[in-house]
Amino acid sequence: MINNTLLQDAMGMIDEEFIEEIIENSARPSKKLTWQRIAAVAACLCLTVSIATLTSIFFRGNTPSNTSDPDFSINIDQYIWSTESTDNMSVEIAVDDWYAAWNGWSITSELYQTLENTDDQALLAIIVETKSNGNNMMKFKYNGTTYEEIIIEQSKLEQKYNKLIEFYKVGEWLKYGEALYTTGIPDGERWSKQLYDSEVAYYGQEMLDRYIVNGELLSDKIMQDAEETQQQIEAQEQLLKDCLAAYHKQNSIDAEEVFVKTGVTHCLKNDSLYLFVSKQELEDIKILNKSKYILGLARKRVFEVDADELPVELDHNISGFDLEKMHLYYDGKTIQPTSDSQVITTIENIIMLDQYAYDHLEIHVDSTFSLTDPKNQLNFLKYDTIYHYKLNKSQIISIHINIKYENIDMQALQRLSNMEEITYIHIGSTLTPIPG
């Protein structure tokens, strides 16, 4: 029980990113955002997936005047949209059978509840997701390489990297060769022959010959190779993201071909298929293989955002940021910029990546107590909300500021960074980690 207690406590303290991962992976209805984020990353990095052609909206209505008319528009405010937060899971985490059944469709519980509580004329904005088919997905080709091949290659690289890192430590013993189990080594370490043989077999003669020369471990060479491998892994991860985005896009295009035949008003935007239907129309849709799809209420913000357009134009001519204070949180990493232009482009990247979910930038600031009235003294930031909290022990005022995208002013941020009272600035999308 002592061991269990220790383990329970340790497991209770692990990083929240791992907890978040299982929550997100458990919540299938929230996968939409993942796709959107993938698409956004691809767009941001100007990689191979061109989504420009997909950002145009093509509606095909169920009345003759609307059919195939790209100028057709509807008042999207009349429709019922999802009220769920974009990057959070559905609350049904414990339910194994995720989707409700309705007229042969698999639908999210939010849509199910909406259908239960509305009349036949209710107008619904629906997003269509194609259920993952493991086999199809594995065989999906992106730039001549299948998804499966990318995963295998990535796995091999990760194994290689892990082995290198392990060898960096274990090599310090293995460099002594057989002495490790015969006489023991100078620091007193002595292995059994069985352990020695198993370690040599695990790392392989090639690795031993490459990194142990004349009884010396070439640590620098190991680290150099590990860094190169890490770069290859990152490139592979990007390839995997692009491949997934392309797979999703293809599924949406395929789904559109099916739904276009039904005559319902629909739209392909940002690589996703949307239906604009009344409850009655949804009930009347007849297609083969309904079970292939999952329907859910669409998120209005995700629909409205254009994947390759920034919602605000930032002034790139601003200079003179106090770079020492600036910390920018982008795509899971905190970046300390080394130039003014990096501040601005990183903020653009943050917005680009997160605009599906949020309409504002979140800034966390530490200041000294000499900033007596943050609300007024920082109103030049044109913030949406501001909260501050005094950390008496450390003589710091912790300030939390939200600024709507359209109100972001780089000149104001530069001014903020140069205020003497301000000691630390952390900028990201919502819910960025708080320093310290």
Partner 1 sequence: MEDYKILDLFWSRNEQAITESKNKYGTLICSIAFNILRNRQDTEECENDTYIGAWNTIPPTRPQKLSAYLAKLSRNIAITKFRANNTKKRGGGEVAASLHELDECIPDQSQDKALAAEQLSSILNEFLASLSQNERQIFMRRYWKCDAIGGIAKHLGCSSSKVKMTLLRTREKLRKFLEQEGIFYDK
Contacts with partner 1 by CB under 8 A lie at 2-23, 25-26, 85, 88-89, 91-94, 96, 134, 155, 158, 162, 166, 169-170, 191-192, 194-195, 358, 360, 362, 364, 385, 387, 389, 391, 398, 400, 402, 430-434
Torsion of CA 144, 293, 131, 301, to 10 degrees: 90
| CA dihedral (255, 256, 257, 263) positive or negative | positive
Using the minimum distance from each CB to partner 1, give the nearer residue, 91 or 253: 91
Q: What's the chain's Rg over C-alpha atoms?
A: 27
Angle at 388 between CA 337 and CA 323, to 5 degrees: 15
Using the minimum distance from each CB to partner 1, give the nearer residue, 57 or 151: 151
* Short-list 406, 206, 434, CA closest to 311: 406
Sorted by sequence, the CB contacts under 8 Å of residue 150 that are 6+ apart come out as 142, 236, 239, 240, 243
Distances (CA, A) of 272 to 27, 32, 126, 256, 333: 19, 9, 10, 9, 28
Using the minimum distance from each CB to partner 1, give the nearer residue, 225 or 362: 362
Using the minimum distance from each CB to partner 1, give the nearer residue, 46 or 201: 201
Shortest distance (Å) from residue 358 CB to partner 1: 8
Shortest distance (Å) from residue 56 CB to partner 1: 29
Shortest distance (Å) from residue 26 CB to partner 1: 7
Shortest distance (Å) from residue 89 CB to partner 1: 6
How far is residue 228's CA from residue 236's CA, in Å, rounded to a whole number?
12
Using the minimum distance from each CB to partner 1, give the nearer residue, 369 or 387: 387
129, 31 in Cβ contact below 8 A? yes
Shortest distance (Å) from residue 155 CB to partner 1: 7
Shortest distance (Å) from residue 363 CB to partner 1: 12
175, 209 in Cβ contact below 8 A? no
Shortest distance (Å) from residue 260 CB to partner 1: 30
93, 27 in Cβ contact below 8 A? yes
Shortest distance (Å) from residue 302 CB to partner 1: 13
Using the minimum distance from each CB to partner 1, give the nearer residue, 144 or 332: 332
Using the minimum distance from each CB to partner 1, give the nearer residue, 73 or 385: 385
Sorted by sequence, the CB contacts under 8 Å of residue 352 that are 6+ apart come out as 40, 43, 44, 310
Distances (CA, A) of 368 to 89, 179, 207, 211, 381: 38, 60, 54, 51, 18
Using the minimum distance from each CB to partner 1, give the nearer residue, 55 or 430: 430
